[in-house]
Amino acid sequence: MKRTDLAELGEFGLIERIKSKVTTSQPSTVYGIGDDAAVIDSGSHYTLISTDMLLEGIHFDLSYTPLRHLGYKSIAVNVSDIAAMNGIPKQVTVSIGLSNRFSVEAIDELYEGILSACKNYNIDLVGGDTTSSQSGLVISVTAIGEVAKEAVAYRKGAKANDVLCVTGDLGAAYFGLQILEREKQVFLENPNMKPDLIEHEYLVGRQLKPEGRTDVIHELKEKNVVPTSMIDVSDGLASEILHLSQHSGCGFSVFVDNLPIENKTLLMANEFKMSPITAVVNGGEDYELLMTISQQDYELVKSIPEITPIGFVTNEKNNILVTNSGEHVPITAQGWNHLTTQK
């Protein structure tokens, strides 16, 4: 019997392989595998379902991740997926696999974070599963959201001349992770050294405690604007642009000069002797929203301070970064691939 390594396929290849075998037949299934959330017709509105699994050693390192923040993040990343469909999360289920090394107090801390996120995003925790785990901590969250039928935003739908916009700033979470990894090494080499994290609160906070941008979803609704396409930035800008390009059948031109990057991110890039653009394009976990807005709607959106225009949609097949000097650099797939290169 043939044996093909998973690494040959990669995560996106595996998803495509599964997707190719799936057909849907329920009349209520509006959209299945392949976007940030599934879309189910609930009569008066669409119900959105998104799910994310976080595994110890892959998605988080408990040596520098406070359980409270981990709990918060496990909710926020699902909120981000619902927001990426232009929806508002309403309920979550949280399943956890635990080994006996966790105390009741540690689990309390994890749930403090989970419930703090639920309160912040006005979400109800309605269920889950608890089980023991022979190895590390496992967290699986499913978020249930709602969106008006006429307001759902898919990855498909971008059209030539639409304005490509992104919320917040990019690249900070990547450097937050680099700082945490560096301080961990310092600590392992000399346990008397105290980690120097407060100075880097912003960058570290972006990694440990990201936020889903439901605030922007509310603002778009107030302006009565529906993005023509949308995705959240979890795997780096390049990966997300390629998803929008593939689903919408169009190209993107992105201006490097326009990319929103915090000063702290630029300074840290300099300290790490790395290009901040590389962090923005191939880093990840910013959990901002990347969307396309029609020219007409852009007039309404440009007053929202959280939204920055970074490029536009083209009829070309290729996706390019336009540098300060006018150079055209192709955008290629270099998203984080958990199945081949682990974080």
Among 18, 160, 188, 193, binds a second copy (CB under 8 A): 18
Among 61, 62, 66, 93, binds a second copy (CB under 8 A): 93
Among 87, 97, 284, 311, binds a second copy (CB under 8 A): 97
Ramachandran assignment for 157, one of left (phi > 0), alpha (psi -120 to 50 degrees), beta (any other): left
From 28-36, 180-188, 290-298, 303-311, give the range in contact with a second copy by CB under 8 A.
Answer: 28-36
Among 25, 224, 303, 324, binds a second copy (CB under 8 A): 25
Confirm or reject binding of residue 45 to a second copy (CB under 8 A).
yes
Ramachandran assignment for 200, one of left (phi > 0), alpha (psi -120 to 50 degrees), beta (any other): alpha
Confirm or reject binding of residue 194 to a second copy (CB under 8 A).
no
Q: How far is the CB of 247 from a second copy (least distance, A)?
A: 15
Between CA 214 and CA 82 the distance in angstroms is 9
Confirm or reject binding of residue 98 to a second copy (CB under 8 A).
yes
Nearest to 17 by CA among 28, 6, 26, 25: 6
Q: What is the DSSP letter of 60?
A: B
Confirm or reject binding of residue 47 to a second copy (CB under 8 A).
yes
93, 126 contact by CB (below 8 A): yes
Structure tokens at 31: 């959209």
From 32-40, 61-69, 184-192, 199-207, give the range in contact with a second copy by CB under 8 A.
Answer: 32-40
Contacts (CB under 8 A) with a second copy, residues 99-118: 100, 102-105, 107-108, 111, 115
The residues, any chain, with a CB within 8 Å of residue 217's CB and separated by 6 or more, are: 83, 86, 87, 88
Confirm or reject binding of residue 133 to a second copy (CB under 8 A).
yes
The residues, any chain, with a CB within 8 Å of residue 253's CB and separated by 6 or more, are: 311, 312, 314, 319, 320, 322
Confirm or reject binding of residue 120 to a second copy (CB under 8 A).
no
Confirm or reject binding of residue 43 to a second copy (CB under 8 A).
yes
Q: How far is the CB of 325 from a second copy (least distance, A)?
A: 39
The residues, any chain, with a CB within 8 Å of residue 161's CB and separated by 6 or more, are: 295, 312, 313
Q: How far is the CB of 242 from a second copy (least distance, A)?
A: 18
290, 166 contact by CB (below 8 A): yes
Confirm or reject binding of residue 11 to a second copy (CB under 8 A).
yes
67-83 helix and 104-121 helix, angle to the nearest 10 degrees? 30
Among 5, 150, 189, 257, binds a second copy (CB under 8 A): 5
Contacts (CB under 8 A) with a second copy, residues 268-307: none
Confirm or reject binding of residue 22 to a second copy (CB under 8 A).
yes
